[in-house]
Amino acid sequence: MPSEKPRLIRSIRLPVAAEKRIETDFIAPPPPDAPLDTPALLALAEKEQASAMLVTHHSPLRGADVAAIPACVKLVATVSVGLDHLDVPALLARGIKVSNTPDVLTDCNADLTMMLILAACRRAAEYYTLMKNGWGHTLGMDEMLGLRVSGKTLGIVGMGRIGQALARRARGFEMKVLYHNRRRLDPAQEEGATYFETLEDMLPHCTILSLHMPGTQGAPPLMTARTLGLLPRGSVLVNAARGSLVDETALIDALRSGHLFSAGLDVYQNEPHPNPRLLALPNIFMTPHTGSATVETRTAMSMLALDNVAALAAGKPLPSPVTA
């Protein structure tokens, strides 16, 4: 007699191909109409006696949440590369395996970051607003001028997979690339970029700064009034990593004063309700945390999460385990 299919739950509806795979290969309740919060996720896991939970940042598992996970759950598979919504040490201490989805979202996140750079430098939000309002007058030679991206100096904070992919794209714009990382990479991984041991030493050289560090729960912002002040006047800040990396009050002040020419943001301190003062600024281009939001990438992320569930059920090593 064939063994029972693995039992799982997910906190959010997945792309079509992944949902079809769940119907075929797993035992699972229907996908939720809206993302489940943590209490609803835990209640569903208990009800369904699921051996695995597929989660996203909508359902953080920290502190008391980890202790409340039903004993039936043996794997938390996050459909993300980031782990700041999970207390990984606590999960592992309970004997619950953890997996994530690295690599498959690298290119789309780097693509979106390049879009933010171009849109912030070339005043895309302001141009779009002007056109939606009917345009109405020919622009003069000195009106609504943006910044040329080609040839600028780009500073990358966090030279992991996405940082390296962005550096490759920046080379196509003949940009000079600098980077700051916890450690210097092997030359083969540097993508021709120049390493700075300290952030403070790098910032004065950056016309454009792009953040690619993971977020840490409770850590102070990386970009504060002091560090923003080290950037040259008229520079551009881009953040497609984590909203917690930026002091938004300091960012607003820098954008209003003209110290920053503009910003491109995909992430915010308060999601999905960004600071209204940010929304009111004309010199900012904003997207709603959509770095991986393509059919190809979200499908690949979901499939990798399901691969981990299938491996667990088969007693095989997880394809993308998180071990610390």
Residue 47 pLDDT exceeds 50? yes
What is the percentage of the chain residues whose pLDDT exceeds 90? Answer: 95
Do 162 and 97 have their domain in common? no
As for how many domains the chain has, the answer is: 2
Beta bridge partners of 260: 235
Residue 196 sits in a domain whose CATH number is: 3.40.50.720
pLDDT in tens, 116-143: 999 999 999 999 999 999 999 999 999 9
Do 313 and 213 have their domain in common? no
Q: How far apart are CA 302 and CA 152, in angstroms?
A: 37
Do 215 and 144 have their domain in common? yes
Q: How many CB atoms lie within 10 A of CB 100?
A: 21
Do 31 and 119 have their domain in common? no
- Chain centroid, CA 283 distance in Å: 22
Do 221 and 247 have their domain in common? yes
Do 110 and 249 have their domain in common? yes
Do 114 and 171 have their domain in common? yes
Look up the pTM and report it. 0.93
As to burial, measured by CB atoms within 10 angstroms (0-12 exposed, 13-18 middle, 19+ buried), residue 39 is: exposed
Residue 324 pLDDT exceeds 90? no
What pLDDT is stored for residue 2 in this prediction? 46
Specify the residue for token string 């910003």: 263
Give the structural domain span for 100.
Answer: 8-104+294-322
Do 124 and 157 have their domain in common? yes
Beta bridge partners of 7: 27
Can you tell me whether residue 270 is helix, strand or coil? coil
Do 99 and 119 have their domain in common? no
Do 12 and 159 have their domain in common? no
User: Quick check: is 129 in a domain?
Assistant: yes
User: Quick check: is 2 in a domain?
Assistant: no
Residues belonging to the active site: 242, 271, 289
